[in-house]
Amino acid sequence: MSKKIRLLYMEGVSPLRSQTVYHAVGYAMTKDTPNTIIMVSPNGPYVSIGYHQDMQKEVDLDYCEKHNLPVYRREVGGGAVFLDNG
């Protein structure tokens, strides 16, 4: 295992890209890839929910639609979160 740490800093990316970059990097890593820290700042607000969450129970979908807030499901668990560029 390498002792190097790679930092990926991505500012002003689309909400979809900010959500998917974690999975893309994870899938691309090999045993020789340095440990990686990813810092992402989306260029707009969105909602992200965990893999096992019930979207209907966790998110006010009418509000999200009314305010053009995309809702994405992560490939990992965890709670629902609101993210923005602030």
Boundaries of every domain in the chain:
5-83
Class of domain 5-83 (CATH, top level): alpha beta
**φ and ψ at 12, to 5 degrees?**
70, 35
Q: Alpha-carbon Rg of the chain, whole angstroms?
A: 15
Beta bridge partners of 11: 41
Contact criterion met (CB below 8 Å) for 18 and 61 = no
Say what the pTM is.
0.83
Tell me the pLDDT tens digit for each residue of 74-85.
998 899 999 998
What pLDDT, in 10s, does the model give residues 39-70? 999 999 999 999 999 999 999 999 999 999 99
